[in-house]
Structures are given as C-alpha cells and as structure tokens.
Amino acid sequence: MVISMDNNVEKTIITVVGKDTVGIIAKVCTYLSEHNINVLDISQTIVSGYFNMMMIVDMNQTVKEFSECQKDLDEIGQEIGVLVKCQRAEIFDMMHRI
C-alpha cells in the first residue's frame, strides 16, 4: 500500500502487543472508527500465541486530542490484556533513527 505524503495527513503509529485473544483488532478498530481516525496501513502477526500489530493511522479528522486518544487506547489495552502504544509518526521516526 502506498501512503500519501499529503501534508493534511496527521500520521500516528499505534502498536499493540500481548497474548493473543479474540477481539483485539475489533476493539481497537472500533474505537478508531468511532472517533473518525482512518487506518492507512496495518500489519499483524501472531507468533507462538503472542499478538503483534502495527497500524499507521490518520488523526486529521478526529476531534479528540492526541493525549486523550493515547489515554483511551491505553485503557482499551488494559481491558483486553494487551499493551497499546500511540505515538506521533515523527516522534516514532526520530526514536528509531540510527
């Protein structure tokens, strides 16, 4: 998938890691949909019963503050027993630049 480099896209990286269970993707994507956050790209794997997902989303159309989304997604993760991290793409890129 090609991601548009349009300046109007406010890219955010969401990662989800934990023991695999039913409904992880549904729970996270339902929250995103309800808050008008568009999924641009998604990758998920399950290795030996452990779930790992990385999403690139566009938060440009949501009315929620970034920090509020971080808190909400963290709470969703706690509810379903996984770790959910939400980072701005530019911060994520700087953290992983070597």
Mean pLDDT by 10 residues, the chain (98 residues): 53 96 96 97 96 96 94 97 92 67
What global pTM score does this model have?
0.83
Domain segments of the chain as ranges: 11-95
Tokens 């509020």 — which residue? Answer: 68
pLDDT recorded at residue 8: 67
Q: What does the alpha-carbon distance between residue 65 and residue 53 come to, in Å, rounded to a whole number? A: 23
For residue 43 the two structure tokens come to 């990758």
- Beta-strand (E) ranges in 1-98? 11-19, 38-47, 50-58, 82-88
pLDDT recorded at residue 66: 94
Class of domain 11-95: alpha beta
Cβ proximity of 40 and 70 under 8 Å: no
